[in-house]
Amino acid sequence: MESFEPKKLALIRIWQILKKYSDYDHPLTQEDISSYLKNDYGIVIERKAISRNISLLKEAGGEIESKRTGSYLDYREFEDSELHMLIDGVLSSKYITARHSKDLIDRICELSNKYFRSNIKYIHSVNDWSKTDNQALFYNIELIDSAVEEGKQIHYDYNKYGIDKKLHKSSQQYVSPYLMILHNQRYYLMAYSEYWGNMVFHRLDRITNMTMTDKKATPIRTVAGFENGIDYKNLSTAMPYMYTDEPERIDFLADINIIDQVIDWFGTDIKLMKTDDENKVQVYVKASPNAMEHWAMQYINYVEIISPQSLRTRMRESLKNGLMKYK
């Protein structure tokens, strides 16, 4: 067979073959490497030349190990366990479309060898995961980055799902963008609404037709409540559902057996105190009252709001309204 690549490329191709086809459990003999060179690249060289090239790669710093059964690449940029975590992150990210998820997973798999892909059976089930249909997500992320860097306002359509399970335009937005937040497996844009005059948190997967305007963005330190900038540490715990009302101190009683859930949502920067009832704990947090009402409803059998009284009253009314639906 005549080579369709010059033999001088053999050194590079041998390195690529070892990277793609070998590991500790799958060493390659010179015969194996010769076969891959011929079949993948049309390069035909003697076995002595293969041995010589492997020695050159080792001398150049390539972490290649040789044993009786063959040679293998002993170093990779990422451990397989790290690649597993990256793939899990892509699969569980609801803001990434199925098409982009498959593309990202393919590129992650290329960071290892062919045996890694065979161990990731669930990558074929990407369509079974809950994913957005919005194909503009990555374009929007790049445009928001540019707008923040240049200090410009952006304009976009904000959408909601209809009964046809498709996104439909709900409103037009002119905002000053500040930050993108990953929260509860969703990406949110934190921005100042030029129309409403307050901070908004909009899901990136609900945004379409985004453009950057020539208007200067409103400086964040001129926005009420953000005179000192953004408190990154407390932002997500203060607004667990990305409501925009002002965080307040909230006291509530919780069953001792949901402390894990309390800390999962509000972090460890909260105050916990024992009560006379050994099965309950008193919790003090600073959070959005609207978000707190939503959260407490999820754990209604395990949580009792103590203060502020206004939130306690709202909880009571919400429970009454909910109960009426089940009469």
- How many residues in total does the chain contain? 327
pLDDT tens profile 196-233: 898 899 988 889 999 999 999 999 999 988 888 887 76
Nearest to 89 by CA among 185, 203, 205, 187: 185
Q: How far is CA 243 from the centre of its chain?
A: 20
Residue 120: predicted pLDDT: 63
> So what CATH class is 248-324?
alpha beta
Look at the block and give the residue holding tokens 């453009």.
Answer: 211
pLDDT tens profile 131-172: 566 677 888 888 999 999 999 999 999 998 888 878 899 999
Bond into 177 cis (ω within 30): no
Q: Which residues partner with 251 through β-bridges?
A: 284, 307
Report DSSP state, residue 26: B
Residue 197, Cβ density class (10 Å: 0-12 exposed, 13-18 middle, ≥19 buried)? exposed
Tokens of 275: 């009560």
Q: Which stretches within the chain are classed as H helix?
A: 10-21, 30-41, 47-59, 80-92, 98-109, 114-118, 137-150, 232-238, 259-266, 289-298, 309-324
Is the pLDDT reported for residue 2 higher than 50?
Answer: no
State the pLDDT confidence band at 121, using cuts at 50, 70 and 90.
low
Is the pLDDT reported for residue 294 higher than 50?
Answer: yes
- Domain 137-223 falls in which CATH fold? SH3 type barrels. (2.30.30)
Torsion, Cα of 266, 269, 271, 272 (10° steps) = 70
What architecture is domain 7-73? Orthogonal Bundle (1.10)
Angstrom distance (rounded) from CA 211 to CA 157 = 10
User: For residue 51, how many C-alpha atoms fall within 13 Å in the half-sphere facing its CB?
Assistant: 6
Q: Against a cut of 0.75, is the pTM above it?
A: no
Tokens of 36: 């891959």
Element (DSSP H or E) covering residue 73: strand 70-73
Look at the block and give the residue holding tokens 């990136």.
Answer: 204
pLDDT tens profile 38-88: 898 888 888 888 988 888 888 888 888 888 899 988 877 777 777 877 887
Is the pLDDT higher at 195 or at 122? 195
Tokens of 138: 């990555």
Where are the strands (E) in 162-308, listed by range?
167-183, 186-193, 198-203, 207-216, 248-255, 271-274, 280-287, 303-307
Tokens of 309: 């009284």
Look at the block and give the residue holding tokens 């990210």.
Answer: 93
Angstrom distance (rounded) from CA 174 to CA 217 = 10
Contact status, residue 66 vs residue 54, Cβ threshold 8 Å: yes
Contact status, residue 74 vs residue 65, Cβ threshold 8 Å: yes
Angstrom distance (rounded) from CA 290 to CA 295 = 9
Is the pLDDT reported for residue 183 higher than 60?
Answer: yes
